[in-house]
Amino acid sequence: MTGWWFLMLAGISEICYAAAIPKTEGFTRLWPSLYCIFFICLSMYLLALSVRTVPIGTAYAVWVGIGAIGTAIYGMAVLGEAATFAKMFCLLMITMGIVGLKFFSPVH
């Protein structure tokens, strides 16, 4: 179960760095760039810890899914991106995929 916690934290770290990318202005601004780089490294480290017990294919898909969902929600909630029915439906489908991968993943 610890691997899944590492995986969830890795996904949250991915959201943190994805949200910071625009603020780096192409990695020309120091502090936003350092923030972004820190969370990229943290996310990779936590992903690496998670694959000790979670199969790599499952872990990678879940990691990307958490990052995609979280970043899309951040874009809608903070950056004013459109929250259409179609977008929300697609995010729900990604969420269902993540839940399915967790549910059908072998326990280590």
H or E element at residue 25: none
Q: What is the pLDDT of residue 108?
A: 58
pLDDT digits (tens, 9 = 90+) for 14-35: 999 999 999 999 999 999 999 9
pLDDT digits (tens, 9 = 90+) for 65-98: 999 999 999 999 999 999 999 999 999 999 999 9
H or E element at residue 108: none
Which is nearest to 48 in space by CA: 85, 75, 16, 9?
9
Q: What is the pLDDT of residue 19?
A: 95
Token pair, residue 89, equals 């439906």
User: Which residues are within 8 A (CB) of 77 and not within 5 positions of it... i.e. 6 or more apart?
Assistant: none
